[in-house]
Structure 1
Amino acid sequence: MTFSSSISKGLLAIGLCLTPVAASAQNVGDWVLSPYQGSSMLFPGVVESRSGPNITIRFDDGDVETRPASTVRLYNWKAGSKVSCLWTDGNWYHATILSAGADGYSLRVRYDDDGVVQNTKTGRCRTR
């Protein structure tokens, strides 16, 4: 993780949100939300490299994909953000972020359907 993404995640962990900028402004080290393998859902990851209009993203779950920078936006999850998270049964369920840990990757979420509160990681969540 680069210094700038560490700062970004630290700011988010204390409840501050970075203002989104134009999709073409992603730089190496930026934490972003991006589709993965044609999905309409957005997954969190960090920009590893840029070549012309394309960026390579290392997603928080460890997967890597190169895609047009215009298809991603800056990471903006914070307390109150609506996400879907992967539950232990292998299914995705709608949840609301309650808080983020100091490491930026740890999340505390409340599932919408049953109110269960769970500690999870950004790599196990996605959004629209």
Structure 2
Amino acid sequence: MAGAGSAGAQRSWARARRWSRSRGAPGALAALALVCAGCGSGGGASPPAASAADVTVTLRNVAFNPARVSVRAGQTVLWRWADGGVPHNVDFGAVTSGDPTTSGTYRRTFAAPGSFPYRCDVHDGMKGTVVVG
């Protein structure tokens, strides 16, 4: 009995290895093609990492500095609190940095073109706009 069970296991193992080999090579080739697709001969610098901020807005003197920024779709804006303990937040309406706080950063990546006004909930006159082209 032990011999019959081990023969069945060997056949299953052989089938699994054949299946793995037949599907592994195309997968490896697809991955290699994706890697090589990014190796064009443009000679330009690499684009910044997706997590890096493309534009920084500083919250200082009860204002967003600069109040209006322009980015391309896919770029990231970083807001940095630097107002000596004065609480602020960044509020786009449906999207917000959260409750007002006195320190920290908030990061948002803009996927679609448009004009995105925002404000601080604590200070009525503290407003800004992100323009995505």
TM-score bracket relative to the smaller structure: under 0.3
| Structure (1/2) with the larger strand percentage | 1
- Choose 1 or 2 for highest CA Rg: 2
Q: Normalising to structure 2: TM-score of the pair?
A: 0.23
Q: Normalising to structure 1: TM-score of the pair?
A: 0.24
Greater RCO (Cα-Cα under 8 Å, separation 6 or more): 1
